[in-house]
Amino acid sequence: MMLCPATHCGQMMETDVRAGYDPDSGLECLFCPRCGHRGMKARTGVQLLFTGQHEYVFSYGPSLSHLKIVLSTVAINLFRTQGMPPTQLAAHVADWALLMGQVCGTVRFSGDLILSSCYEYCRREATKSPAVSSL
C-alpha cells in the first residue's frame, strides 16, 4: 500500500471502497484513516515510458494520460546520498502526484525541497524500502 502524502502523517492509505477502481484510467481511490486525505494510485503501478536529462515520463493502466516528472539536480543529489537512484525517485514523485490528485501534466521536484510534502513522502519511501541498484 501507499503512505499518506500529507506532511507529518505517514499512515498507510486504504482503498476507498465507495469510490472504488476506475478500469478506464487504471486508478484506484484511496483514503487515509488518520487524517482523511484522499488520493489515487495506479493499481499496476506507474510505468516509465521514457527519460531524458532530468525528465521522466510515466503512464499508468490503460489510460492515455501521463505524468512528466522533472527532477532538479539538488533533488537527485540529495536522494542519491540516501541510496535512491533518480529513476526510483521520479517514480515516487509520480506516486505522490497521484496521491495528491494530479493525474496528468508536469511535476517539478525542485525549489524548497525540505518544506514540501513531496520531499517528506520521498524521504519516508527511502527509509521504508531497501535501496535498489541504479536503473
Least confident of 5-19, 26-40, 48-62, 75-89: 5-19
At residue 77, the pLDDT reads 92
Q: What H or E segment, with its residue span, contains residue 27?
A: strand 27-31
Distance CA 129, CA 104 (A): 26
All three cell numbers of 37, joined, read 486525505
Alpha helices by DSSP H, 1-135: 73-80, 86-99, 117-128
**Chain segment 9-19, per-residue pLDDT in tens:** 878 999 998 88
Helix 117-128 and helix 86-99, axial crossing angle in degrees, nearest 10: 120
104-107 long-range CB contacts below 8 Å, 24 or more apart?
104/65, 104/66, 104/67, 105/67, 105/68, 106/67, 106/68, 106/69, 106/70, 107/67, 107/68, 107/69, 107/70
Is pTM beyond 0.75? Reply is yes
- Name every residue whose Cβ is closer than 8 Å to that of residue 52 and which is 6 or more positions away in sequence: none
